[in-house]
Amino acid sequence: MDKLLEMSAKELSRLEVMQRLSKKQMSQAEAGRILDLSTRQIKRLLRAYRAKGAAGLVSKHRGRKGNNRLSEEVKKRALDLLQTKYKGFGPTLAHEKLVEREKLKLSDESVRQLMIREDLWKPRKAKKVVVHQLRERRACFGELIQIDGSPHDWLEGRGPRLCLIGAIDDASGKVPGSPRRCRWSLRQRSQRAARPDRQAGLSSDSLYFLLRSVLGNGAVHRLENCHNVGASPPIGHPPFSPSDSG
């Protein structure tokens, strides 16, 4: 009766390649590219396969104890101390005491695993990763302009406070207009956004603050009035809410 072999997915891939290689269905260079191995390693695997068959591709370390494993004596002494002298300690602090005071040679992860195995420590549950789906970009150029600004004393006291502004078209990813026309573009865009018959929008994390700092309160009042009468201008969301930037 043939002996059953336990093989990993990596070893199964090597077995398939060695079978094709032994039948001369591929070259050693091609086998090396498939397995990401050098020609010398491919020759070594092929010799092992021809000598022992599939068993020659199985790792020799499988089933053996690790060379760096903790001795039973160290485990027993560490557990005795964790259950008595250092009872109630967390893994990190317990590891420090075992190494500094008791002169035991073991890692903090080994202490943690020992404590979990003996119900001396309950591991924290990993936080659930929340995936935020990205929204689709707008279909047409100019339909939504995403802007952001940085109000600051850019002139270092030699003039008025200015707001450095960046703008990008949502559909194409292009920068609309030029920096010289940025203030004019914002004024024009805000006027278009305040008209219900125009489908042009602005979006920013702090849009109303940005418009107020650049264009003045008049532009903001027009937009707020537009919201109040139910015109629904395409300018992200109501005042001081997150932007439509996805």
How large is the average pLDDT for residues 57-75? 82
Evaluate whether residue 133 is within a structural domain.
no
Structural domain boundaries enclosing 209: 144-228
Evaluate whether residue 99 is within a structural domain.
yes
How large is the average pLDDT for residues 7-20? 90
Evaluate whether residue 42 is within a structural domain.
yes
Q: How many domains does the chain have?
A: 3
How large is the average pLDDT for residues 175-182? 57
Please give the pLDDT value at position 170.
Answer: 84
Evaluate whether residue 102 is within a structural domain.
yes
pLDDT band at 1 (very low <50, low <70, confident <90, very high): very low
152 and 211 belong to one structural domain:
yes
Mind listing the pLDDT tens digit for each residue in 198-245? 445 555 555 555 555 555 555 555 555 544 444 344 444 333 333 444
Please give the pLDDT value at position 201.
Answer: 58
- DSSP-derived letter for residue 56 is G
44 and 108 belong to one structural domain:
no
182 and 112 belong to one structural domain:
no
53 and 79 belong to one structural domain:
no
Three-state SS at 147: strand
Q: Compute the distance between CA of residue 180 and CA of residue 167 in angstroms, rounded to an integer.
A: 13
pTM value is 0.36
- pLDDT cut 70: percent of the chain above it: 71
- DSSP-derived letter for residue 181 is G
Burial zone of 233 (CB within 10 Å; 0-12 exposed, 13-18 middle, 19+ buried): buried
Mind listing the pLDDT tens digit for each residue in 21-45? 999 898 999 999 999 999 999 999 9
Tokens (6 digits) for 213: 């700092």
Residue 178 confidence (pLDDT) above 70 = no
